[in-house]
Amino acid sequence: MIVILKSGTTAEQTEQFSDILRKRYCVDIHTSVGAQSTVLGLVGDTKAIDVDSLNAFPIVEAVRRVQEPYKKANRKFHPDDTVIDVGGHKLGGGELQLIAGPCSVESEEQIISIAESVKKSGANILRGGAFKPRTSPYAFQGLRQGGLELLTEAKAKLEMPIVTEIMSADHIEFFNDVDIIQVGARNMQNFELLKELGKTDKPILLKRGLANTIEETLMSAEYIMSNGNENVILCERGIRTYETFTRNTLDVSAVPIFKKLSHLPVVVDPSHASGIPWLIEPLSLAAVAAGADGLIIEVHNDPPHALCDGAQSITPEQFNSLANKLFLISDAIKEVNNSKN
């Protein structure tokens, strides 16, 4: 970490400030006095140093981190890709994983029928909402525990691991049979929830928040990992911008950036990113081309009658056609990367 002092800072002020830093953060200070300004290099474990508390000193011109503030999620300290095994299916190992299912679990018949069809199309993991975060308190809130039971039934019947969203640390006990616990975009910085999930050993699918940066997303992964659970899957699901044509704007750049900065697997959710069924195919193809390890896609047998988010779901037939294309493009991308790099 480098601290640039304002021009005009005296040697005495510099020394006093350095003393404070040494005591407070147990770091060594290397001072370089230049013509324009004095620069301090802080050497040691700086990840707990709050940039803002340094900026509060009147003599500080600027603070610049040289090292990323995340460690466990950082590829620098863990060069190999993390591969997460979910019921025999690998996320992050170079094989494209499709996660599919309805926005909300609505009935036994619905979840089983969708699960059957998406499995046939090549999806290895079943998604389905039981606890549903809804903007309105008057909207359908999901079947909650009842939904988890139906998901578990579908899991048993189809031998598909399941992923579903958690909305409160109080519900962790209900998620025993869930294979991947999803943290939704609205809870990405619900730090108390992240800490509790860090004490479990379940893979966590962490969705990027509505308007969170790539670094903040990695810091939220770090919350889970530093509490003991290193099985985190990052998920890009679109960010909030001024554009109103789509519900969110898919930040496809996040895929290669997450892969470069971190060793964690990355999946993309084109359904929430766009909110428009006919965009799901091109966005899914783009995500795979950009290097995504998997996709999580909303599929509903009867979108107009879906109890939630029907407008962004595709049908099982559309998913089948899409899955075929995605596996072909995934293979082409693998080939291209192997031959050329």
The yes or no reply on residue 242 touching a copy of itself (CB under 8 A) is yes
Grouping H, G, I as helix, E, B as strand and the rest as coil, residue 181 is strand
The yes or no reply on residue 241 touching a copy of itself (CB under 8 A) is yes
> Smallest distance from the beta carbon of 333 to a copy of itself, in angstroms?
7
Among 80, 138, 173, 201, binds a copy of itself (CB under 8 A): 138
Q: Do 299 and 114 form a contact (C-beta atoms < 8 A)?
A: yes
Among 8, 80, 136, 201, binds a copy of itself (CB under 8 A): 136
Site for a copy of itself in 166-195 (CB under 8 A): 167-170, 186-187, 189-193, 195
Q: Which residues in 138-188 belong to E strands, given as ranges?
A: 162-166, 180-183
Among 15, 19, 50, 159, binds a copy of itself (CB under 8 A): 50
Angle ∠(136,274,293) on CA atoms, nearest 5: 115
Q: Any idea which residue has 């579908």 for tokens?
A: 154
Q: Residue 50 carries which DSSP code? A: -
Report how far residue 317's alpha carbon sits from residue 51's, in angstroms, rounded to the nearest whole number.
Answer: 51
Q: Do 91 and 100 form a contact (C-beta atoms < 8 A)?
A: no
**Which residue lies nearer to a copy of itself by CB, 18 or 312?**
312
Max CA pair span of the chain: 76
Name the segment binding a copy of itself (CB under 8 A); options: 90-98, 111-119, 146-154, 333-341: 333-341
Name the segment binding a copy of itself (CB under 8 A); options: 82-90, 94-102, 111-119, 236-244: 236-244
Among 43, 87, 109, 176, binds a copy of itself (CB under 8 A): 43
Report how far residue 33's alpha carbon sits from residue 8's, in angstroms, rounded to the nearest whole number.
Answer: 11
Q: How many residues bind a copy of itself (CB under 8 A)?
A: 119
Name the segment binding a copy of itself (CB under 8 A); options: 108-116, 122-130, 138-146, 228-236: 138-146
What φ, ψ does residue 265 adopt, rounded to 5°? -65, 150
Among 93, 122, 310, 316, binds a copy of itself (CB under 8 A): 310
**Which candidate, 125, 146, 153, 121, places its Cα nearest to that of 265?**
125
Name the segment binding a copy of itself (CB under 8 A); options: 85-93, 117-125, 153-161, 221-229: 221-229
The yes or no reply on residue 222 touching a copy of itself (CB under 8 A) is yes
The yes or no reply on residue 33 touching a copy of itself (CB under 8 A) is yes
Pairing relation of β-strands 180-183 and 60-64? Answer: unpaired
**Which residue lies nearer to a copy of itself by CB, 83 or 329?**
329
- Which residues, in sequence order, are bridge partners of residue 259? none
Q: Do 184 and 167 form a contact (C-beta atoms < 8 A)?
A: yes
Residue 305 CA: distances (Å) to CA of 151, 311, 313: 19, 10, 11
Q: Do 325 and 289 form a contact (C-beta atoms < 8 A)?
A: no
Among 165, 223, 235, 299, binds a copy of itself (CB under 8 A): 223
Among 28, 108, 109, 317, binds a copy of itself (CB under 8 A): 28
Length of the chain: 341
The yes or no reply on residue 283 touching a copy of itself (CB under 8 A) is yes
Site for a copy of itself in 79-118 (CB under 8 A): none
**Which residue lies nearer to a copy of itself by CB, 86 or 250?**
250
> Smallest distance from the beta carbon of 125 to a copy of itself, in angstroms?
23
